[in-house]
Structure 1
Amino acid sequence: MGAYYTRPIAADGTPGAPTWQAWDGGNVGPYATGDGRAVTFTADSDPAGGSFVQSVFKNDVAGFFRVPSTSGALLYVTGRYAIVNGSSPAKQYIGGLGVYSDLQPIVTRSVAAASVWGTKVWTPGSGTGVVTAKDLKTGKVTDTIATGAPCVPKELQTMGRWIYWSCGPTSTAGVWDRTAKKNIAVPSGEILLGDGYVVRHDTADGALLLTSFADGTAATRKIGDLAAGGSTRRGVTWTVDKFGGPVAYVDADRRIHLVPSGTATQALGVIESEVTSEIGRDWWWQWRRLLSKPAASWKPTLTSKATGAVARTFSGAEVSGGVSVRWDGRDGKGVYVPNGTYTFTLTASPADGSGPALTVTQSMRVSSGAVARRDFTNYASWMPDGIGDVMTLSSSGVVSYRPGNGTGGIARTTSSSASAAAN
């Protein structure tokens, strides 16, 4: 029995100090999730408890979900979602770390090739070489792609624009470029997909071979040697960082090596997003995003749509994976902001310097903040919008509202049901 330690790696490859996380209780792993975390799989022969996938991070209390199978193996994990192939019963389970309170799988299906990226699970579709993506949150099919594979894929791996498919460990394999809409032939075997490359374990001589294909042409080079004999499991004794980082492996002397891929990474983007509350229903608003690779810095700003004034600004240092912002509806001085619609804007710069900065916007409403002066109504409903309005009284005694447009003007008259009593 041993212990798990994690060590952060900066974008330039500099390792940080190790941090103890958990004891090894006989589980299998750890497997890198690609967002700075790692998980293990524990088989449990007790049907009442079941097997489970769990984060090794001691402070990741929600990083857990159960699998209703007494045995099996972890097939694939990216970010917060993991795929387990159970063997008793023989079912495939897809679950999310900290996604659902009941900690049960999101999807239970027959065992088949499968991969997950963001909120989409990719599986073989109907017809030779066809793959489909289903959104795990909505259950709807979002993509159907003919990859050109001459088979129903036996293995799938996904990473942004790249879809790796294989007809078997000794058969044809390739990568479908979703951007260029073309297939690139790559080796098959014990493979892991990275951003613009695959790494293969040559089991005959223990070598790790990296094949880059980001420019549309496959080129292979040797990057290291694994320990001879013993267990050399992909994802455990060697792995790739699907979020733009290096390849990592353990050699015969149990030294950890980090090898840059040498390929240009995709632009910094968002692969999953979630708004967990809104001010008015609750007393806070939370926004969360999973980034496609580390950001050197990030700056969220909340701006009033009515006035254009900045209501609150946050800032963050280098981050890998998730970015989360929680706002209580107050400005930087602790005063509640006026009710109305606000624009949340996040800017983030890529830590590896590859590609432009990321900009994301999101609208949200505050309805339990400070009351804006003379804010009676808006165009769409009777809810306040943070813009001052005008109340009028006609010669016939009808009270009407003239909604403000936020730029000093007023809109058409909106009649109310109230009338002034005649004297």
Structure 2
Amino acid sequence: MAASAAFSLVPGLGFAAGPAQADTSGEVVLPADAAYVPPEDTVKAAGDTGYLHTQQGTSGTQWTDDASGQSYTVTPAVESPHDGLGIVPEPGSPVVHIEDLATRATTSIQPPAGQVWTHAYTGSSVLTHAQQSGPQVLHLVRSANGQVTDTPIPCPPEVTGFAGVLTQDDAGAVLYLRTASGELPFLVDYAAATVHEIFAGTDITSVKIGLSAGHVYAYPNSWPTYVDTVPRDDPGATPTRTPLPAAVANNDAGVADIAVTGGWILVNHLITTTYTAPGDALQAVPIGGGAAQKLFPWAQPDLVTAPDGSVLVTAGTSSEDWAVRRISAASGQVPTSSVVQRVPPLPAQVRDLSLGAGTLANDDWVSNSALPDPVYERDVSSSLQVGPRTIVTQHGTGVIARGNGQVAYQTSDGIVSPVAGGSSQHLYATGAVVAASGRYILQHDSGYFFVQDFEAPSTLPYQSTTEAASLWGRKVWEEDPGHHGDVRSYDLVSKRYTADLPVDPACGNLSAVQAVGRWLYWSCAHVDGVTDRAGVWDLTAGKNIPVRYGQAQLGDGYLVLRDAATGALMLTDFHNGAGTAPVTTEFAGAATGVWTVDRFGGSAAYVDSQQRVHLVPVSVPRSPIAAIDARTNGRRLTVQLSRPAGSATVTFSDPFGHVLRTQTAELAGASADVTWNGRTDSGTALPNGTYTWKVTATAADGTSAVTTGTLRLTGAADAYRDYGASGLGSLTTLTSTGWLTAHFSSHADGTFTGTSGSSGWPSGITAVPFGDINGDGCNELLVRMPGGQLRAYRAGCGHWPSPNTSYASLGTGFSQYKWLSSPGDLNGDGTPDLVAWSASTGDLYVIPVTRQGTLGARQLVRSGLTYAKLISIGDVTGDAIGDLLAYDRSGSLWLMAGDGHGNFQSRKPIFSNWGTGYNAVIGVGDITGDGKPDLVERDSSGTMWVNPGLGKGSFGGRIKAATGWNYTGMS
């Protein structure tokens, strides 16, 4: 039974119809992709040797021979086709012309006087009814061998008249005849010359009825959940009811197309067409019920029974597996299929094309908005070797390559970019995509240019009302809205503008700006008498290079322009820079309006009139490879390069320049990525803190790009004096009311903007910030109680203890010391050690901490010290051993570097005449974010100062950090 047409679509991947072809110039031509949507091929009737159908892309109705595949257009169009036959209409004439569509022979029959043709027929006969009262009689009027015979077929006595034909084949027809109970369905058997009521009492307006070779079947018009069948040779039998399988697609199926072959019912639910559920599967279920068999994932809803009892249907697994197929079922066997004729796919209509750093992406245009707008991508090597096409999404537009091996596309909800692992990055502001560069994407909408950041999707790091803008790396290049004809850049990280460049001061408004490396393309459209013109500003030379005005795209050292008259692509080579005349040549053949230039690579691509994609190499010498953006996300480092690298090496170093780890970066497009596990090459775990990375990327031409930066390692062991699990140090204060507080530098800028505190501490305690004693990676806080007991409080990483926090007792008798502190590990055993300064003698002791978390025997390292203050500073010399500072009474500051054996080296001066007004000097660890320990001082007015550590035992000039710090105790 035929029903309203619907498309069946490709559920997964699609590939080009043939291999890419390269010519002697290096140009590669990709065959047109198969359209995602297969062509509609609707079977209308099936004969013994062929079938009648219409096919998208072909005019008229075609008869196709099964064996040869040859087709002809059926003219004039036939009516009421079945079994390879059709009626050639002759308006106003009672003569019925029956055409054999395979042989094109015509049989003409004129019904006898008093008889009217019912519109049922065979290849040599017509079924008529006599217009009479009383018993109703049908007539089979046959023409054979020049003779016309009339076989009467009496109707049952309850029949009072003829109403119409429901369905027919060459062996009989289902009519609806008038009775006292209404119009009811009856089966006419031509060979037996009989008429029998079927499906007694059925309302013909609520069901569809069909014929197979052995059965008559009926099912509801809407929401069919079952099929009733009766044998054709026993039409009065009680119908067998067979439940139907549900639609495979997740959609309600209001109607279905159904046919019967052998002992099986074929069903194709006609679901609502959407891009996520474009059609339903062709299924088969045995008459009487049983497990459904899925024959094909997608099928057209036109199931047509052939004279041999098989069923013809157009179905397949994709647009490239689309075919008219014959479904048949031998007795006791499951249905099988065979291909009658392949239906070739239509070429995809390419709407958008993008090429970036070895990724070729396109999206196809589909006229029906309910169907997919698929987005595809391919990998393209530097030698233009093209990989297989893969589908990115079934529904997207405006695809663009990001230059990092990823693509982005537009939806009604914003921008989507699939990433590794099957997940996607989403941006939610809508607008036309102008350019993409790694993590950033530039868009335009409603008079605004704006940038979205895939790494920070809730932000808009750039917005402007400028008339023209472009994006390269982390910089947006725009026409200065306040100085038309001038161009400036905006750094998305530093959030600063550069000075204006006067590319065309006479232009009222620039119509376009594009940026690639040292090159800045601009154009000025004809407005207010200004002549159309364009140029490329050489950022290195600070001068313009004149180029032809038109539809253009900028590459590295060249410009590709499409000739408006011929469609040819013209290449202008200016790689030698300003001062050398540019050279323009015809670059490629006629292109449609769909073409692109790889800003990160050395090629261009365009679509021709046959929807083939041409990849054309550019022989212009490239600029040296360069880093144009870099970012860290936790332990992952990503560097965006100006073009793809052949290799990239990354080193991670401590703040003193010691290389800790060397790794090979993963390359994707023009980006280099590496994830550090926070360990050295030997596997030693490193603490939280700031580390320096260095990337060396080398291109195929031997040029290298070197870029450096810092990474904040977190999630590891606590850094020196780190109580915020941030890798930054902290300062401890105590109030007279018993509040003990850790002050953090939340912004790594030398200020204290975060705190964590607890109350209830007794008067007279001394807090001693300490390292990890018990091996859990978290810093303990030592507290000397008023009675001299020393406790190690263990709150866990990122937590601050209270008096109720669990602790370990480390001993008693510590009241003899006027100062307790920890500069870190002093003997090289990997555990922090304690330094104690005697109040009575001025002797200095090192008390080592064992690996079991207990204190060892104290060791005298200095006698009779008379300094105003001693300061534990951590490691300021870069040897992984803790160091001390000594502040004398004349205002000088000295370094006592740890020797790695539990003692200190001879002192060395740091500052002379540093001042005597500080009542507190504390080494707080790194609070400026560079990984080097810093020094904090408080003067008599309560003002806090920071001397940032410079490494190698020195400090920079002081910086004011805070005021009003009048705490009772600071450590």
Query: What TM-score range do you get, normalising by the shorter chain?
Result: 0.7 to 0.9
Deviations 1:257-301 (A, max 9, x none): 222221111111111122233xxxxxxx23222111101111112
- Structure 1: give runs of 5+ residues left out of the alignment: 45-50, 278-284, 419-423
Q: Which residue of 1 aligns with 2:588?
A: 224
Which of 427, 445, 449 pairs up with 1:65?
Answer: 427
Which of 354, 359, 376 pairs up with 1:5?
Answer: 376
Asked whether 1:76 is paired with 2:438, we answer no
Which of 679, 688, 691 pairs up with 1:330?
Answer: 679
Deviations 1:170-206 (A, max 9, x none): 7110000001111100011111111111111112111
In structure 1, how many angstroms separate the alpha carbons of the residues matched to 2:650 and 2:824?
A: 21
In structure 2, how many angstroms separate the alpha carbons of the residues matched to 1:306 and 1:78?
A: 33
Give the deviation of 1:75 after TM superposition.
3.2
Trace 1:108-119 onto structure 2 (pairs within 5 A).
108-110=463-465, 112-119=467-474
Deviations 1:344-389 (A, max 9, x none): 22221113x16x21222234465875689xx899xx9989998859
Asked whether 1:260 is paired with 2:617, we answer yes
In structure 2, how many angstroms separate the alpha carbons of the residues matched to 1:121 and 1:376?
A: 41
1:343 and 1:361 in contact (8 A); partners too = yes
Q: Which residue of 1 aligns with 2:533?
A: 172
Match of 1:346, as an amino acid? V
The alpha-carbon distance between structure 1 residues 342 and 75, as it changes in their structure 2 partners (threshold 3 A), is closer
The alpha-carbon distance between structure 1 residues 302 and 387, as it changes in their structure 2 partners (threshold 3 A), is farther
Give the TM-score taking structure 2 as reference length: 0.36
Give the deviation of 1:306 after TM superposition.
4.9
Which of 485, 499, 505 pairs up with 1:129?
Answer: 485
Trace 1:147-226 onto structure 2 (pairs within 5 A).
147-148=503-504, 150-151=506-507, 152-168=509-525, 171-216=532-577, 217-226=581-590
Q: Which residue of 1 aligns with 2:707?
A: 360
Residue-pair matches, total: 381
Asked whether 1:40 is paired with 2:409, we answer yes
Which of 382, 385, 388 pairs up with 1:17?
Answer: 388
Give the deviation of 1:411 after TM superposition.
7.5
Deviations 1:277-336 (A, max 9, x none): 3xxxxxxx232221111011111122345583x432221354313222222322346541
Match of 2:491, as an amino acid? D
2:449 and 2:469 in contact (8 A); partners too = no
In structure 2, how many angstroms separate the alpha carbons of the residues matched to 1:268 and 1:29?
A: 28
In structure 2, how many angstroms separate the alpha carbons of the residues matched to 1:411 and 1:57?
A: 47
Match of 2:650, as an amino acid? P
The alpha-carbon distance between structure 1 residues 108 and 303, as it changes in their structure 2 partners (threshold 3 A), is closer
Asked whether 1:30 is paired with 2:387, we answer no
Give the deviation of 1:242 after TM superposition.
0.6
* Larger Cα-atom Rg: 2
Give the deviation of 1:417 after TM superposition.
7.8
Give the deviation of 1:150 after TM superposition.
3.1
Give the deviation of 1:128 after TM superposition.
4.7
SS in structure 2 opposite 1:146? coil
1:67 and 1:93 in contact (8 A); partners too = no
SS in structure 2 opposite 1:139? coil
In structure 2, how many angstroms separate the alpha carbons of the residues matched to 1:307 and 1:206?
A: 57
Trace 1:333-348 onto structure 2 (pairs within 5 A).
334-337=683-686, 342-348=691-697
Match of 1:141, as an amino acid? Y
Match of 2:469, as an amino acid? A
Give the deviation of 1:40 after TM superposition.
2.8
Match of 2:707, as an amino acid? V
Give the deviation of 1:21 after TM superposition.
1.5
Give the deviation of 1:412 after TM superposition.
7.4
Match of 2:397, as an amino acid? V
Greater relative contact order structure (CA < 8 Å, 6+ sep) = 1
The alpha-carbon distance between structure 1 residues 225 and 38, as it changes in their structure 2 partners (threshold 3 A), is farther
In structure 2, how many angstroms separate the alpha carbons of the residues matched to 1:12 and 1:307?
A: 39
In structure 1, how many angstroms separate the alpha carbons of the residues matched to 2:448 and 2:406?
A: 23
SS in structure 2 opposite 1:11? coil
Give the deviation of 1:12 after TM superposition.
2.5
Asked whether 1:249 is paired with 2:606, we answer yes
In structure 1, how many angstroms separate the alpha carbons of the residues matched to 2:713 and 2:398?
A: 44
Greater shift, 175-184 or 268-277, is seen at 268-277
Greater shift, 11-20 or 55-64, is seen at 55-64
The alpha-carbon distance between structure 1 residues 242 and 369, as it changes in their structure 2 partners (threshold 3 A), is same
1:161 and 1:179 in contact (8 A); partners too = yes
Give the deviation of 1:115 after TM superposition.
1.1
Match of 1:94, as an amino acid? F
The alpha-carbon distance between structure 1 residues 97 and 19, as it changes in their structure 2 partners (threshold 3 A), is farther
Deviations 1:16-44 (A, max 9, x none): 23322211x3x4332333443333334x4
1:91 and 1:108 in contact (8 A); partners too = no
SS in structure 1 opposite 2:664? coil
SS in structure 2 opposite 1:116? strand
The alpha-carbon distance between structure 1 residues 92 and 301, as it changes in their structure 2 partners (threshold 3 A), is same
2:553 and 2:561 in contact (8 A); partners too = yes
SS in structure 2 opposite 1:347? strand
Q: Which residue of 2 aligns with 1:272?
A: 629
Give the deviation of 1:246 after TM superposition.
0.8
Q: Which residue of 1 aligns with 2:798?
A: none
2:666 and 2:674 in contact (8 A); partners too = no
Asked whether 1:85 is paired with 2:444, we answer yes
In structure 2, how many angstroms separate the alpha carbons of the residues matched to 1:322 and 1:40?
A: 19
Q: Which residue of 2 aligns with 1:316?
A: 665
In structure 1, how many angstroms separate the alpha carbons of the residues matched to 2:542 and 2:519?
A: 10
Trace 1:382-393 onto structure 2 (pairs within 5 A).
393=844
In structure 1, how many angstroms separate the alpha carbons of the residues matched to 2:403 and 2:713?
A: 35
Greater shift, 11-20 or 27-36, is seen at 27-36
Asked whether 1:53 is paired with 2:402, we answer no
Match of 1:395, as an amino acid? G
SS in structure 1 opposite 2:646? strand
Match of 1:319, as an amino acid? A
Asked whether 1:142 is paired with 2:504, we answer no
In structure 1, how many angstroms separate the alpha carbons of the residues matched to 2:639 and 2:825?
A: 30
1:306 and 1:341 in contact (8 A); partners too = no
Asked whether 1:240 is paired with 2:597, we answer yes
2:826 and 2:881 in contact (8 A); partners too = no
Identity over aligned pairs, percent:
31
In structure 2, how many angstroms separate the alpha carbons of the residues matched to 1:221 and 1:417?
A: 72
